[in-house]
Every structure is written in structure tokens, then in C-alpha cells.
Amino acid sequence: MQTRKLGTQGLTVSALGLGCMGMAGTAGQTAMYGTVDRGEAIATLHRALELGVNFLDTAEVYGPFRNEELLAEGLRGRRDQAIIATKFGFDIADGKVAGVNSRPENVRAVADASLKRLGTDHIDLFYQHRVDPAVPIEDTVGAMADLVHAGKVRFLGLSEAGPATLARAHKVHPISALQSEWSLWERGVEADIVPLCAELGIGFVPYSPLGRGFLTGQQPRAEDLPDSDYRSKDPRYQGANYDANMAAVAIVKGIAAAHGATAAQVALAWLLHKGPGVVPIPGSKRRVTLEDNAGAAALALTAADMAALDAALPPGTTAGDRYGSKFMMSMVRL
């Protein structure tokens, strides 16, 4: 697996990372994307390291807390092979999110708790998960920088931050990576956020780079998914939206067939071709999916391929809202 640099502060990671959120459930329980087999999830972590996929993404809120604990179990005896990214930014009470919280005291408390759950003495990349409008970003990043100076954190990141917040944060302490949703079917960051990251030398980490699985071309309609699966409420998986979006995915599948690749590999390769500082983190809780995704790093798309993909799903044309109404307010970039 090739490597890429995130930011200009020295953070080097695998060209593709592994989003671990889907592993948040324990054996027999459900996570955001359905039932989790804990043994298979840990085997997937081990297989990722074997493939050179060393950039592992988690967060305190995944589970909550269980995901970091699972990562610690999977990395026991292998910590030096992994680059761990985790996130803070919420109040969590009785296992539920009770609002955002990026007050300096919470930044410090979450870092210490995450270090304990992860079974490590340092976090490689520490993100603010969501911007807290009640706390100046300068105060939050100042507390994050203190963790760097204390040796508890190596590099800093933000998630779903808007351009103004990102620029202000970067003045306090260098931001190595911005994590936001970016894929063929969610291109809202391309107008101003991606160019700003390039200007400031900040790496970009696209989450949900496969549109929560839709861009694989193999996902069923929302109506056919169990209630426990988040996507059963996703507007883009429903009714006429599903049909319109699947028609666009047909173009992705056609390019994949020409390359002897899968649609997922093409969608990920499209992102990789967007710049050397772009590192997608497709989620997986099974080895077979991980292995397929990893093949994207070796897939060379032509200029004609890129043009066809850009034209298939131009910004703003994906049918349906990005999230259901329950989540839309929390996804506003500040």
C-alpha cells in the first residue's frame, strides 16, 4: 500500500484508511450499519495491517466508547503498526449524545479517557468531531495544542468544519487534516473547503467515500433494509431518489467493468486522483470488503474516466437530502 502525507507537519499514512465506525457494536448487537461480528471485525483490523492499511479512524462517540475499546483489542501487540485517529466533541450521557462540547476541560478529559480505552500512550491524530458554536475555536485548538506539547497527541485535525473556522484554527496550531464527507454523490466541499485545504497545506480525509455503500452499486433500497440499519432512513436510498441515484451509479459500474475493477474501487480511485493529500477512509467490518476497497490504491483512471465520473454526479445533483431531518442540523458546517 502506498503512503501519503496529511498536512506538512510529518504525518504519513496509508493512501487508504479504514473507517471503524461500523465495528462499534459488540457481538450480537447492532451498529449504525447492521449487525456486527466482533471476531470478524478484529480479523478485519489485522488484515488491514497486513495489507499496509495503517490509518485507523475511530471516535469516542462510536458505540459510544466500545469502538475505541475494540480497536485496543485488535491492536494489542501491534500498536506500533497503526496510525490511530480518534475524535472528541460531544457530551455523552447514559450512552447517548446530549449535545456538542468542545470546552477545553472536555478536550483534556476526552483525550485522557480515549488514551485509556485505546490502551496507548499517544493518539496520532486527534480531531474535533463537530464545531461547538458556544466555544471559540481558538480556545478549543489551544487545548488540543497543549495535548501535543504534553506528548499525548501527535497531530491535530477538525471534522466537518467550515472554511472560516478552519482558517482560524490553523492560525492557533497547524491543522494536519480536515475530515468531511466527500464522494461522487456528496461534493459540497469542492467549492471552497477543498481549495482552502490545498492553500493551507492541510490534508483532506473523506469519510463515507462510498456514499454509505451506495456507490458500490449493490445496496438495496431503504425499504428493504432492517430498521437497525441507519440507511433505512436515508432519503437517498428511498423511492424515486434511489432510482435516480442508481442510474448515475451505472456509469461508475461501466467504467469499473472496462478496468476489470469494482464500482467501489472506481469511486475510491476517483477521490485518490483528486490530489496527493486526499486519503479516503472507507468503512468496513469484514475482510472481503476491506480487501476489495484496498484494490483502489492501484487503480489508474484516465482523464476521460475522471471526466465521465465528474459528469455522472455533478455537485448538487444527487437525488435526496444528504441526511434525514433528524441529522441535518448537526451537519451544518460552521
**Residue predicted with more confidence, 129 or 26:** 129
- What does the pLDDT read at residue 32? 56
Torsional class of 77: left (φ above 0), alpha (ψ -120 to 50), beta (otherwise): left
Q: Does pLDDT of 159 surpass 90? A: yes
Dist. CA 113–CA 119, nearest whole Å: 10
Residue 252's nearest CA partner among 172, 169, 330, 308 is 308
Is the pLDDT score of 97 beyond 60?
yes
- Residue-level pLDDT at 4: 98
Average pLDDT, integer, range 276-283: 98
Q: Tell me, what's the pLDDT at 187? A: 95
Q: Which of 74-83, 109-118, 175-184, 240-249 has the lowest mean pLDDT?
A: 240-249
> Is the pLDDT confidence value at 330 over 60?
no
Residue 150 pLDDT level (bands cut at 50, 70, 90): very high
In the predicted model, is pLDDT for residue 113 greater than 90? yes
Q: Stretch 51-74: mean pLDDT, rounded?
A: 96
Count of beta carbons in the 10 Å neighbourhood of residue 248: 20
pLDDT surpasses 60 at 108: yes
Minimal CA–CA distance to 57: which of 140, 169, 177, 231?
Answer: 177
pLDDT for 243 equals 87
Confidence of residue 103 (pLDDT cuts 50, 70, 90): very high
Cell of 235: 432519503
Q: What is the mean pLDDT of residues 94-121?
A: 96
- Give the total residue count for the chain: 334
Flag whether pLDDT at 206 surpasses 50: yes
Q: What is the pTM of this model?
A: 0.93
| Residues with catalytic roles | 62
Q: CA-to-CA distance for 104 and 172, rounded, in angstroms?
A: 14
Structure confidence by residue, pLDDT tens digits, 30-62: 455 667 899 999 999 999 999 999 999 999 999
Q: Which residue has the cell 496510525?
A: 83
pLDDT at 325 over 70: no
Higher pLDDT among residues 296 and 35, named by residue: 296
Q: Please state the rounded mean pLDDT for residues 228-245.
A: 82
Asked if 215 contacts 263 with a C-beta cutoff of 8 angstroms, the reply is yes
> What is the rounded CA–CA span in Å between residue 30 and residue 2?
33
Selected from 3.90.25.10, 1.20.120.160, 3.20.20.100, 3.40.50.300, the CATH number assigned to the domain covering 12-331 reads 3.20.20.100
**Residue 25 binned pLDDT confidence (cut-offs 50, 70, 90):** low
- The pLDDT score that the predictor gives to residue 334 is 83
User: Domain residue spans in the chain?
Assistant: 12-331
Does 28 score more than 50 pLDDT?
Answer: no
What pLDDT score was predicted for residue 26?
Answer: 43
Greater confidence (261 vs 94) lies with 261
Alpha-helical runs (H) found in the chain: 38-51, 66-74, 104-118, 137-149, 163-172, 193-200, 239-259, 263-272, 287-294, 303-312, 325-328
Amino acid (one-letter) located at 53: V
Q: Mean pLDDT over residues 98-103, rounded?
A: 96
**Which residues are 6's β-sheet partners?**
11
DSSP single-letter state for residue 103: -
The cell for 185 is 454523490
Average model confidence (pLDDT) for the chain? 92
Say what the alpha-carbon torsion angle 300, 282, 161, 317 is, to the nearest 10 degrees: 70
DSSP label at 60?
T
